[in-house]
Structure 1
């Protein structure tokens, strides 16, 4: 149903030709700009999740959404003549929170392309590292150029939540950490193989992946405990599933007791947030069942569970679809090295009709 509504939204803005025919009324114009960019962002996510070609392309001359408070102060009575003669229009029209989401939303397709080239074995190590560094530079440049008023601090969270924009501020940083954890994800497997000994870069990329996963989990937990900043969107379930899978990697391969204790805490937090989301989105069970299948994969073969193949590609990108067991031929077998993982069985049905009891995760200590 979401895909149907999204497709209708895309067709409507195409028929309206919003990129070339914006209204001359200032408020209407800014509303049209925000509508176009919101649909574009949905198109980026949906095309990635459904493996279809993106429909909307960016015109470099098309304006980005203005600062939110300035948008809220716009007077609907201002006509086009007053709009055109405002001498400070260019300088006063500062980009807002939604505008800041555009640069890292643009990396969705390149990250997916890297994963697909890796799975198809159509990219050399040199090309892979070059592409990774290019995207990493874009993400870090965005972070460095972010105004201090848009950083996640207690002061900023309180300020934005008081004006109804706390959730948007959190969504901004949630996207940054999610795309970053996706960018480095494939190096988790390589970091525990012989390749890691040959390349400190692989070890560093894996460290960044774990760091962003931790930042994402802690950010969402912090936001959900801050009135006006709670993140209760269905898509959060997929983000939590991916970050939880990264925490599982640490749980399996790290021997640092402090790190293990921290990831157990984050796994508990993630599951508590998923259970809270179930109050609003029954569809969250899909994300939970996908994580359950991932967990079984770790139990069956921890040495290959994080290998970047078509199954992993499906787990990371096709978030709107269920995933099947990775090792269907060895379902009864369990990797004895992975016995430290909590058993999962019991209450929420997954796509294979098996059940999922989240309580052992909440009892991690």
Structure 2
């Protein structure tokens, strides 16, 4: 039996499961790996599937094998089954990812191929392979546009919603991936229906027909008009800010944007983000009570990711103002206030992640948490080194200790976290070389540090020497020498 040009799985007889991959010979192990995928991977990397349908199709033998192997290639690292006990956590998914790659058919333009490319791109991210990640995501982008996915034929409401969610997943991944490799984005911003609430989506019947008219389109709706119970819909409005922030930081580094114009642009983006936060329904705002509420509803992990992303984007927006923010004579009060905003957002981010860790249902064991926490840790380091308030220094020291503890745990699961450790080490070495905060200056090294999270960074001293030489050459050329 085949679906969209792919063989489907039969857990009762498939030799791929029983012989080639012995841990998968037991059906309960396979189902556990699927559950782990939806707990730790789905949404944290992407939202590609309808969980009840995915599990039902595995049980009835209609799930494409390529999707099964792609999903468990990401989730196997979290399995506690004894059959994996002798395999390092990082390596448990490798044979399944390789099997998914072997089965990928780029001659089959379909939703399955797009989903597989997104899974394989996520696997590449986990290995710190930004080149392969970018290639897979680029294929997914092009295929989603070729199929006109939001308008593609759907027999059921579930299929219709999956098409929309996959489109938004590809769009968001294109934003993050393109920013990380410093290449132009591929996906256009289109009038695509926003995701419905998770509870509504999960309760859809396989027989529910498609909606004749889809509402809450991203281009025509404001955040305040998004479905009040859809965490993902509000998330999509936030996604659009990353490119703006990257552009501001890039132009600041190249001196295309500076002075009053820079402050004005940052303030404009900040007001948009603040407007987004204030327009959230009361139940979606970042409070411990709301985290408890959404966790009981079964969507606490999505709630955490929503606010982690907001706080991360905010620390990226204001990070450049940390530099010399302790020198009151050298900077205006606006710069100092922006630096304070960066510190507060970074502190709130750390506290939210550690609060989420207290519950197994919200524990953020995904790799992007490690990168984000590394950036927040550098902000805590700035507080530790330069704050004159004893309480702030003590809190920063405690957060740095807790951050390091959690990053050490994450590192056992994700190879790409080696780069985060090396990045923070490089940053710390830069701090030790100087007594001022010039190492927090927004430059090309800092842009790479903050955005190209899958790649290690060179020692800053070498980069600064190279930039000095390049600047001198440019200066001489500009006067005809």
> What's the TM-score once normalised by structure 1's chain length?
0.83
Query: Aligned partners of 1:254 and 1:107: how far apart in 2?
Result: 29
Residue 84 (structure 1) aligned with residue 212 (structure 2): yes
Identify the residue that residue 399 of structure 2 maps to in structure 1. Answer: 266
Residues 66, 94 of structure 1: 8 Å contact kept: no
Q: Deviations over 1:8-36 (max 9, x none)?
A: 32233223211333525211111111111
Change (3 A) 1:138 1:92: closer
Query: Aligned partners of 2:379 and 2:156: how far apart in 1?
Result: 48
Identify the residue that residue 289 of structure 1 maps to in structure 2. Answer: 422
Q: After TM superposition, list the pairs within 5 Å mapping 1:68-217 onto structure 2.
A: 68-80=198-210, 83-84=211-212, 96-193=230-327, 196-197=330-331, 199-217=332-350
Identify the residue that residue 160 of structure 2 maps to in structure 1. Answer: 29
Residue 15 (structure 1) aligned with residue 146 (structure 2): yes
Which deviates further from its counterpart, 21-30 or 296-305? 21-30
Query: Aligned partners of 2:197 and 2:463: how far apart in 1?
Result: 55
Change (3 A) 1:262 1:20: same
Structure 2's unaligned 5+ residue stretches are 1-123, 126-132, 216-220, 466-481
Query: Aligned partners of 1:108 and 1:93: how far apart in 2?
Result: 22
Q: Deviations over 1:335-365 (max 9, x none)?
A: xxxxxxxxxxxxxxxxxxxxxxxxxxxxxxx
Q: Deviations over 1:86-106 (max 9, x none)?
A: 99xx99965611111122211
Query: Aligned partners of 1:329 and 1:174: how far apart in 2?
Result: 30
Residues 346, 380 of structure 2: 8 Å contact kept: yes
Q: Deviations over 1:37-84 (max 9, x none)?
A: 11211111111111111111211x31110111111121221234xx43
Residue 55 (structure 1) aligned with residue 186 (structure 2): yes
Query: Aligned partners of 1:204 and 1:57: how far apart in 2?
Result: 35
Residue 227 (structure 1) aligned with residue 360 (structure 2): yes
- Pick aligned residue for 2:370 from 208, 223, 237: 237
Identify the residue that residue 40 of structure 1 maps to in structure 2. Answer: 171
Change (3 A) 1:330 1:64: closer
Q: Deviations over 1:264-323 (max 9, x none)?
A: 011011111101112321321111110000000000124211111111111112112111
Q: Deviations over 1:169-223 (max 9, x none)?
A: 10000000000000000000041346644x1100100000000000000000000
Which deviates further from its counterpart, 255-264 or 115-124? 115-124
Change (3 A) 1:67 1:119: same
- How many residue pairs match? The answer is 325
Shift of 1:328: 3.4
Residues 300, 327 of structure 1: 8 Å contact kept: no
Query: Aligned partners of 2:430 and 2:392: how far apart in 1?
Result: 22
SS at 1:323's partner residue?
coil
Query: Aligned partners of 2:213 and 2:456: how far apart in 1?
Result: 54
Query: Aligned partners of 1:93 and 1:325: how far apart in 2?
Result: 47
Q: CA RMSD in A?
A: 2.4
Structure 1's unaligned 5+ residue stretches are 332-365
Residues 238, 310 of structure 2: 8 Å contact kept: yes
Q: After TM superposition, list the pairs within 5 Å mapping 1:348-359 onto structure 2.
A: none
Residue 276 (structure 1) aligned with residue 409 (structure 2): yes
The higher radius of gyration belongs to 2
Change (3 A) 1:86 1:272: closer
Shift of 1:330: 10
